[in-house]
A and B are shown apart, each in its own frame.
Chain A
Amino acid sequence: GDSVTQMEGPVTLSEEAFLTINCTYTATGYPSLFWYVQYPGEGLQLLLKATKADDKGSNKGFEATYRKETTSFHLEKGSVQVSDSAVYFCALSDLSSNTGKLIFGQGTTLQVKP
């Protein structure tokens, strides 16, 4: 079945450092890919998405490119802030089940220190 694999955390960075969180997927067909962010004590917020190969999603300085050849959707940000500390989930839409179901990675905790 479809699956998403994220790099294990926690990831600890200093403010203004470059961020990469790796995400690879296994899927039949061409799913949409998403990054969601969850701040402490809150629900999930959509960070960005891409719906087809070579699409780049971007929002709030974060970017991710849908790479079909490497089945990846890595999240990047050039300069992180303390306020970016959160859990980041990579997800794909499960086309095979025809339910709109999202398949999530395990989540990566990011901690940014001043």
Chain B
Amino acid sequence: QLQLQESGPGLVKPSQTLSLTCTVSGGSVSSDDYYWSWVRQHPARGLEWIGYIYFSGSSYYSPSLRSRTSISVDTSKNQFSLKLTSVTAADTAVYYCARLVSDTSTFDIWGRGAMVTVSA
């Protein structure tokens, strides 16, 4: 059974870069049937799509976050990563990594989530 696990600092200072990694186990990030995604959830609020990447490196981002977001994939480590630059308190959220099925644009498997707080 494929599992996803987020890792990274839980506290980031304002104006710095938020960096998270998602490790894929029980499956391969190199599968051509899936995209690898990031979704966030602000405290007590809804889900917000950040972006996703294909194993080839092709990536797609939410228009509202595109200028500050970069998603990369490391097939040798079976991981993919998120970088969000110039963070503010508004970026405080739980960050989820998720698998997106390419045929149906469905997020079918999710990680447990990583809480990231932006504070000095």
Judge: A and B partners, yes or no.
Answer: no
Give the B-binding residues of A (Cβ under 8 A): none
Q: Which residues of B contact A (CB under 8 A)?
A: none
